[in-house]
Structure 1
Amino acid sequence: MQSIINLIRWKNLLMIALAQYLIKYALLQPFAVNMSLSHFEFSLLALATICIAAAGNIINDIYDIETDFINKPKQIIIGKTITEKTAYNLFIVFNVIGVGIGFFVSNSIGKSELFSIFVIISILLYLYASFLKQTFLIGNIIVSALVAFSIIIVGIFELIPAMTSQNQAIQLTFFKIILDYALFAFMLNFLREIAKDIEDVDGDFKTGMHTLPIVIGRERASKVLFWLSLIPLLIIIYYINTSLYKQPIAVGYFLIFLVGPLIYTSIKLFSAKTKKAFHSISNLLKLVMLFGMLSLLLYPIITH
C-alpha cells in the first residue's frame, strides 16, 4: 500500500487538492460569490482531478523506468515493489474513476459538455508520458499547463455555470483572480520542470530525450533557467507595488514567503552546478508554489 501511495506522488496530489479547496473556501465563499457546486459535488470534483493526476503520475513512471534506473535508482517503485502490469492496471483504474466522477459532476450541474475536459486531460497526460516529454520544451509546457488547469477548473465549474447578466462582472473578477494564480502555478512549475531536466540530464541523454539541457547544454540551460526565474519574481514585485501596497500584512507575507525565496532561488541558480543543487532548487520552487497558494487565506483578511 505504501508503494502505491508513493507511486501516485501523494504530496503533489495533496497540493492540488489544497489549492482547489483554498480557492472555494478562502477566496469564493467568504465573499458570497455565486457558485454552482454543493460541498459534496466540489469534493467529487477535487477527487476526480486527483484521480486523473494520480493516473498521470503512474503512466509517467511506467514510461520512465529506463531513465529512472540511471537518474534515481533508489527511488524506483515499478519493477521493484510493484510490477509493471499492476502499475498499468492502477493507471486504468484511477483514470476510469476520475473520468467517471467527472461525468457525474458535469451532469449534476446540467453541463454535461464539461465532461470532455476530464477526457482531454487524461489523454494529454498519457501523450505527455509516452512521447511529448521527450520533445524540446513541449512536454514542459504541457505538464505546467495541466498543473495550472487544475486551478482553473474550479472557476470553470463553480463560477461560469452560475453566471448571469446581473452577476457577470463579479464572477469574471473572481475568475480573473483564479487565472492569476493559475499563471503563477504555470510559471513556477515550468521552472521546476527545467530544473528537473537539468538534474536528470544523464539518464535523459542515454534514453534519447531532447530536453532543454540536452539540446543546448547543461550550463546554458542553467543560465536560461536563471533568467526565467526573474520573471515571476518581477511580476510579484509589480503586483505588490500596484495592488497590495496599502495592505501591510499581505506585503509582509509576499516579501517573506514569495519574494525572499525566489531571490534565494535565483542566486542559487546563478552558481548551481551539481545534481544535488538542482534537486534542492526544484524543491524550493515547490515550496514557493505552496506559499503562493496559501496566500489565498489573506483575501478575507485584507479586504475586510
Structure 2
Amino acid sequence: MSQLNGHAFTVAVRAYVELVRLHNVAATVLTTFIGYFVAAGAVAVTSSAALAAAAAALVAAAGYVINDYYDVDTDSIVKPWRPIPSGRVKPPAARRLAYILFLLGLVAAVPLGALVLAFVAVNAVLVHEYSRWIKRSGFPGNLVVALNSAATILLGGLVYPGSQYPRLTLVPAAIAFLLVLAREIIKGIEDYRGDLEACYLTLPVVAGQRRAALAAALLLLAVVAVSVLPLQAGFGAGYMALASIVDALALYSAYKLLSSREGLEKVAARLRSLLKAAFFLGGLAFIAGLA
C-alpha cells in the first residue's frame, strides 16, 4: 500500500513540475539577474536581486499554469499528454495553484518597494489576461509575450538603486523584446494553417505570410543594430564574442525569411529553435561582458 501511495505521490509531483515548466522558469530567473547585473555593472547577487528573481519566477510559473487551465479544451485535442487534459491534474487544482503562485509573487515583491510591487502586479495581470483572451487576438498576444520577456530584465534593473539603470538595462530589454517578437511572428508563420482555421488574427493571417516574414526580418535587423550599443558602454570581448553569434543567427534568420523559395512554414519551424538559442546566448553575452 505504501508503495502505491509513494508512486501516486511521485506521479503527482511530476505532473505539477511539468505544469509550471521549470526550465522556462529558470530562464526567467536568469533574465532577471541579467537585468540586475547590467544595472549594477558587476555579476553580484544580493537579497534584492534574489527577491526580484523569485517574484518573476513565481509569476511566470503562475502564468504557465493558468495558460494550461484556459487551454484545456484545445490541449485535449492537440496535446492530450499535458497534465490537465491527461487527468493528472484537475482543472480546479490547477487554477488554485496559479492564483497561489501569483499571490506569492506579489508577496516576494513587497519588500522591494511600491514601484517594484506595482511593476510585478501589472505584469501578473498581463500574464493572466494573455492566457484568458489576449493570446487569441493574434498580434497583440505576440506583443504581450515580447513585453513580458523584456519586463523580467527591466525588473532586475529596477531593484538596483544605481543611476546606470535607465541607460544600460533598457538595451538588453530592447534586444529581448525584438528577438521574442520576431520569434512570435515566425511561430505564427509556422502555425499559419491552424491559426487560419481557428480564426486567430495573427500577423501572417491578417497581412499574409510574406509580409509577416518581412516584419520579422526587420525586427531581427534591429536586433543587430541595437546589439552594438553595449560596446559603447564598455562591455568587452566576452560580450562581443557571444553577441557576434547572436547577430549571425539573427542575420541568417532574416536572410532565410526574405530569400526562401520553399514553403515559409517549414523555414519558420527551423528558425524558431535558432532564435530561442539566440535569446539565451544574448543573455549570456551580457554576463560575459561584465565578468
Among 54, 64, 67, the alignment partner of 1:57 is: 64
Deviations 1:210-269 (A, max 9, x none): 111221233432333233322212333x548x73899555433322x2122112222333
1:17 maps to 29
After superposition, the C-alpha distances for 1:169-214 in whole angstroms (9 at most, x for unaligned) are xx33343111111111111111121122222233333333211122
Matched residues, percent identical?
A: 24
Correspondence 1:88-167 to 2 at 5 A: 88-103=95-110, 105-106=111-112, 111-159=113-161
Q: TM-score with structure 2 length normalisation?
A: 0.82
Q: 1:57 to 1:22 in 2, by over 3 A?
A: same
Query: Structure 1 residues 58 and 207, CA, compared in 2 at 3 Å: closer, same or farther?
Result: farther
Residue 251 (structure 2) pairs with residue 260 (structure 1): no
Are the counterparts in 2 of residues 23 and 296 from structure 1 also a CA contact under 8 Å?
A: no
Number of matched residues? 276
> Could you tell me whether the CA contact under 8 Å between 1:196 and 1:282 is conserved in 2?
yes
Task: Provide structure 2 residue ranges, at least 5 long, that are not aligned to the other structure.
Answer: 1-12
What SS does the corresponding residue of 2:131 show, helix, strand or coil?
helix
Task: Find the counterpart in structure 2 of residue 86 from structure 1.
Answer: 93
- Which stretch shows the higher mean deviation, 142-151 or 275-284? 275-284
Q: Provide the C-alpha distance between the structure 2 equivalents of 1:75 and 1:192, rounded to a whole number of angstroms.
A: 25
Contact 1:66 1:207 in 2 (8 A): no
Q: Compared with structure 1, are the counterparts of its residues 155 and 64 closer, same or farther at alpha carbon in structure 2 (3 Å cutoff)?
A: same
Gapped regions of structure 1 (runs ≥ 5): 33-37, 160-170
Alignment partner of 1:76 out of 82, 86, 110: 82
CA contact (8 A) 1:194 1:212 kept: yes
Change (3 A) 1:192 1:125: same
Work out which of the residue numbers 233, 243, 253 in structure 1 matches 2:232.
243
Aligned partner of residue 89 in structure 2, secondary structure: coil
CA distance in 2 between partners of 1:152 and 1:23 (Å): 6
Task: Work out whether residues 62 and 102 of structure 2, in 8 Å CA contact, stay in contact via their aligned partners in 1.
Answer: yes
Q: In terms of mean alpha carbon deviation, does 86-95 or 205-214 score higher?
A: 205-214
